[in-house]
Amino acid sequence: MALDAQNNWRQLCREAVAEKDPDKLLRIAMAINREFDQQQKKKVAAFLQNMDKPKTA
């Protein structure tokens, strides 16, 4: 995970813990989910890219 994304994820989690307003908490939770989704897509893309590379013996 990139350092900026990791810091953003951690900041969002700190905000979620402190948030009392259910609507704001929902928005924060959705932002956390977006961060995870973006990171998962990057990992899958990197994995597929490695699968396409020919293996050397």
Distances (CA, A) of 24 to 3, 5, 16, 19: 25, 20, 8, 7
User: What is the per-residue pLDDT for 54?
Assistant: 74
- Please report, for the chain, the start and end positions of each structural domain, with discontinuous segments joined by +: 22-52
Amino acid at 9: W
Higher pLDDT, 1 or 8: 8
CA distance 46 to 38: 12
Per-residue pLDDT tens over the stretch 4-53: 766 788 899 999 999 999 999 999 999 999 998 998 999 999 998 888 77
Q: Which two tokens stand for residue 51?
A: 């699968």
User: What is the per-residue pLDDT for 1?
Assistant: 45
| Residue 12 CB coordination number (10 Å) | 19
CA distance 21 to 42: 32
